[in-house]
Amino acid sequence: MLSQLFQVLALASLSIAANPNYEDLFKPFVSPGTEIATVSEPDFAEVASPRWSTWQPPTFQAAIKPVTEADVQAIVRIASRNKIPFLATLNGHGSNKNYARVQNALNINLENFNSVVVDAVNNRLTIGGGVTFGQISEPLEKAGKEIQTGNAVCVGMVGATIGGGIGTLQGLHGLVLDALVSVKLVTAKGDLVVASKLVNSDLFWAIRGAGANFGIIVSATYEVYDQTSKGEVILASFGFPLSASRSAWEFVHSYDEHIPAPLVVIPAIRYNHTTQETSLNVAVVYYGTMAEAQPYLDQVAALNPISTAVQTVTNSELHEIFSMGACDRGGRHNGYTLGMKKTDPDTMEEIMQEMNDFYETHPNYNGSVSIQRYSNEAAMKVPDNETSYPWRDINSYLLFDNVYADAALDADVDDLSRSLRDKLQAASGYEDPQIYLNYAHGDEPLNQVYGASKLPKLRTLKKKWDPDHSFGFNFPIDY
Ligand SMILES: Cc1cc2nc3c(=O)[nH]c(=O)nc-3n(C[C@H](O)[C@H](O)[C@H](O)COP(=O)(O)OP(=O)(O)OC[C@H]3O[C@@H](n4cnc5c(N)ncnc54)[C@H](O)[C@@H]3O)c2cc1C
């Protein structure tokens, strides 16, 4: 049966032309529900994954939306044999400049892999490879469980996991990839394999940090935990003007050495185009009761913020709030990032002033600079050699979310971001830059992204599992 399938697939590859007929090539070998469209067809936008950012996007000649695991296997085999480059995506949030190197490719839309199964007795969550963070909240909350996720509901759970996965429950439970128990993955050969600590453990090591380089994950099983504080989360937001932001930066700095696991601090520099003012917003999140959160809230309230809002929410409500605006598609996002373990108030004041100058001279620029500060306690409990993820020590993830519509601003934005990134790097507490892959710009050397200590093993495994470089367009591991 299997050899028959190989024979028909081999025949399929004979009919390859410069502009392949995707219907003829794929349709006979995938299940009837699989949709296919070329870029010139009217239904292309429905078949292809959506794209979050218009900056340096991949381009596709066709899209295919498989239904079954066997479909994904067939698609990978046929595309590989016909030398059709392909990229499997969900909501297209991956947005570093490497994606622009994906040209005239086949988009494999993973949206149909949307199953979510909670096994509350064994503390397990099994999802399809096309599930977003937002899709798991309700089933988990109904079961009285939680898991660490990213903060935006629209982001693919697997897409984020395989590059790390950072978010507000990180202090309590670690990186999202630390919760991963096993995956089912389609390899470059089109095989469907399981990877876990016990089976294909080398592959399992590699996908927890560099996963997009090694295959298409069709399902993933995670560990889940009982809800913290019955699901009660405190969210507070404090505003400071540029002129009175020093004390707020001092507050952020006071948590450089240690931040309690349930506490999250997220300072963000923004510009109000109506009032033409740059401000610092400090979000404080606490996984616990209002009484437990109060001492931290009092600390910030004592700094005389110009605005204060405090509310009790559930974890999913928290992430819905954080997603407002952030999940909107179609903007031009040219991001830069840096991992830090220190926030020097002098440097942060300087950054804020330079951002203010840029806002004033570039009225069409709408970006922000934020730092996500989480305890690294839980992530550091996992031995470094257990996963390929290299930067467990980072406690502050800096993100320049540069948003603007006009490509003519690219050069100015790049100049500013690079110069501020250098300045921040010098004060970051790290000798060499440590770059969180999922936020990377795409100009960073491989050792700053994957880690010099992890690269040799990653290269060996890349050669073993994906010798023809079918995967990993987001940040390709060479060898
Ligand atoms: C608005 C926004 C908010 C974000 N918030 C956070 C956050 O809080 N925490 C955080 O850690 N990150 C966050 N990110 C970054 C995010 O983790 C990465 O962009 C991630 O790569 C997105 O995955 P995706 O599936 O949504 O995007 P896609 O562009 O669809 O995929 C990104 C990459 O992952 C690969 N991939 C996706 N699914 C699979 C799969 N099933 N098998 C194999 N490869 C796969 C793709 O091939 C591609 O290379 C955010 C990004 C955005 C745009």
Average predicted confidence (pLDDT) for the chain:
95
CB burial string 381-401: b at 16+ within 10 A, e below: ebeeeebbbbbbebbbbbbbb
pLDDT tens column, 292-347: 999 999 999 999 999 999 999 999 999 999 999 999 999 999 999 999 999 999 99
Cα(72)–Cα(151) distance, integer angstroms: 29
335 CB within 6 A, ligand 1: no
Which residue's C-alpha comes closest to atom 52 of ligand 1? Answer: 93
pLDDT tens column, 141-195: 999 999 999 999 999 999 999 999 999 999 999 999 999 999 999 999 999 999 9
Residue 16's pLDDT is 39
- Give 18's pLDDT tier (boundaries 50, 70, 90): low
Based on the domain organization, do 265 and 400 belong to the same domain? yes
pLDDT tens column, 84-104: 999 999 999 999 999 999 999
Based on the domain organization, do 190 and 286 belong to the same domain? no
Based on the domain organization, do 124 and 69 belong to the same domain? no
Q: Which two tokens stand for residue 25?
A: 């090539």
pLDDT above 60: residue 1: no
Residue 19's pLDDT is 79
**CATH code (residue 23):** 3.30.43.10
160 CB within 6 A, ligand 1: yes
Q: Which two tokens stand for residue 110?
A: 């993973």
Based on the domain organization, do 234 and 214 belong to the same domain? no
Which residue's C-alpha comes closest to atom 34 of ligand 1? Answer: 159
Based on the domain organization, do 85 and 159 belong to the same domain? no
105 CB within 6 A, ligand 1: no
Which residue's C-alpha comes closest to atom 49 of ligand 1? Answer: 474
Is residue 183 exposed (0-12), middle (13-18) or buried (19+ Cβ within 10 Å)? buried
**CATH code (residue 184):** 3.30.465.10
In-domain check, residue 413? yes
pLDDT above 80: residue 15: no
164 CB within 6 A, ligand 1: yes
pLDDT above 90: residue 370: yes
In-domain check, residue 478? no
Q: Give the number of the atom of ligand 1 that is nearest the alpha carbon of residue 110.
A: 41
pLDDT above 70: residue 13: no
Domain membership of residue 243 as a residue range: 230-451
The per-residue DSSP string of 112-161 comes to T---EEEETTTTEEEEETT-BHHHHHHHHHHTTEE----S-TTSBHHHHH
pLDDT above 60: residue 3: no
Give the total number of structural domains in the chain: 3
175 CB within 6 A, ligand 1: no
Based on the domain organization, do 207 and 237 belong to the same domain? no
Q: Which of 81, 109, 137 is the last residue of a domain?
A: 109
Between the CA of 388 and the centroid of ligand 1 the distance, in Å, is 17
Among 463, 457, 465, residue whose Cα is nearest residue 187:
465
152 CB within 6 A, ligand 1: yes
